[in-house]
Structure 1
């Protein structure tokens, strides 16, 4: 997880995500950071007529803005910072760039409205997550970097062997070296079924060198369960393995964000299942 890319659009949340990305990179020896910006080659005139963008002029402006942001980030320590500007839609253009350069982590900000409990993930962030390019770290708009000493992996303990992104998880955990907790939420009260115990044992074996602590939580509401867990154990990052784009999006729809508002400073790392 040493090649890090921060996707920016010059909004304050994206600038904050870039600051977070640099601080994270400084904590991972040998890391590099790319500040990445894309722009549409077509725009709409006042009457809605499609107009071609002056790409050369746009690149010059974007290059200046990215270099200004690079300067604003301040001391980069031993982290090499590059800038990249490409025409096209973010998600499709980013796929090619990430694959070509071997980017291992994308860092993006959350676009928020005026009230904390109304925070939602921006459409660009969702589109990048849905592409399943590489792990994506979602940084809340007001988050400030704190060394990742504790992380919690949320899991439903289903089909662990075929769905767990072991390589990506091990890479993240090896680089960050956090104290790892694994939180499984059961919706009904009762003893853990044998099938779930087997899945737990399988995941335990996959992650055994990280010595994870497992927690079995009973709660009919997944978000409430994670809420309580985070309040009690105070992790610095949540790691989730969304099986589908819609599952991840569900966590951030307006009906759930109020329950997650307490967690506004906590980054969430999405690593797609295999």
Structure 2
């Protein structure tokens, strides 16, 4: 892992997530890029507006806040790792995609909630919306998490569909980098299906160099059964492999990965 991109809105929850990004950069000796998108004003108003409407002053303010965050991270981590800071004008999801294209990070780190964590848990956030658009792995950090402990991963699988071998390789490399074990789980209506068991054995072969387990669990409600598995196995991080959806379905349907990221109390790694 060479480059970690962290997107911030300068909220308290996002600041906690920045600690995770810095800890990963230090542990993996990776480049860290701190990024903020400041919003353009798309209309004029006759009412007094609190804040600065000048784009250049907005950019300077964003850069000052990013520099402050960089100093805080360097001090808290007691390291000489110096993050790069970037502020760009534009709508958050669009500019974030530009940053991913330009910097080609190995992972994008974001908090699952900004200034309104309870609303994000109920209705979702820009972070969960980004899951449907990302072309790189995303680490989604709950607002209460500020310390990185990765010893036990849970990898949720849908063995009824073809599993992306490249994504599986990324998960295996991630586990090896952190010396973590992986508990793989498939929630299914028919755990005795020979085709599912054959697919499970094939994936276990791909993870032969990673300490792991494989569980096929009877159940229909994925999120409830998956949460129960996470609680029972004392998981440090949930890993999911988002499925591609059409644009119309994205408008009206929340994916399993988005739902788990919104509700989870542990970090969720979405690997594409």
TM-score between both structures, scaled by the size of structure 1: 0.83
Seen in structure 2, the aligned counterparts of structure 1 residues 46 and 122 have a Cα distance that, compared at 3 Å, is: farther
| Corresponding residue of 2:155 | 153
- SS of residue matched to 1:232: helix
Find the aligned partners of 1:45 and 1:242 in 2 and give their Cα distance: 40
Judge conservation of contact 1:187–1:221 (CA < 8 Å) in 2: no
Superposition pairs of residues 17-166 of structure 1, within 5 angstroms: 17-28=17-28, 30-47=29-46, 53-73=53-73, 74-76=75-77, 77-111=79-113, 119-120=121-122, 122-162=124-164, 165-166=167-168
Q: What CA distance in whole angstroms lies between the structure 2 residues aligned with 1:192 and 1:184?
A: 12
Shift of 1:91: 2.0
Distance (whole Å) between structure 2 residues aligned to residue 187 and residue 105 of structure 1: 33
Give CA-to-partner distance per residue, 1:186-232, whole Å, 9 cap, x none. 235xx511110111122112222113210121223212211221121
Which structure 2 segments of 5+ residues have no match?
Answer: 245-249
SS of the aligned residue for 1:210 comes to: coil
1:216-235 aligned at under 5 Å gives the runs 216-235=216-235
Aligned with 1:247 (options 235, 255, 259): 255
- Please tell me whether the aligned partners of residues 111 and 140 of structure 2 are also in contact (alpha carbons under 8 angstroms): yes
CA spacing shift, 1:32–1:201, aligned 2, 3 Å: same
CA deviations on 1:4-26 (whole Å, 9 max, x unpaired) are 11100111111111112112222
1:32 deviation in Å? Answer: 2.0
The alpha carbon displacement at 1:42 in A equals 2.9
Shift of residue 90, structure 1, vs aligned partner? 2.1
Query: In 2 relative to 1, CA 78–151 (structure 1 residues): closer, same or farther, beyond 3 Å?
Result: farther
Q: CA deviation at 1:55?
A: 2.3
Instruction: Tell me the distance in 2 between the aligned counterparts of 1:42 and 1:118.
Output: 24
Say how many residue pairs are matched. 258
Q: Distance in 2 between matches of 1:250 and 1:201?
A: 28
Q: Which 10-residue stretch deviates more, 232-241 or 191-200?
A: 191-200
Does the 8 Å contact 2:187/2:218 carry over to 1?
yes
Superposition pairs for residues 2-17 of structure 1, below 5 Å?
2-17=2-17
Distance 1:203 1:91, change over 3 A: same
**Bigger mean CA offset, 123-132 vs 58-67:** 123-132
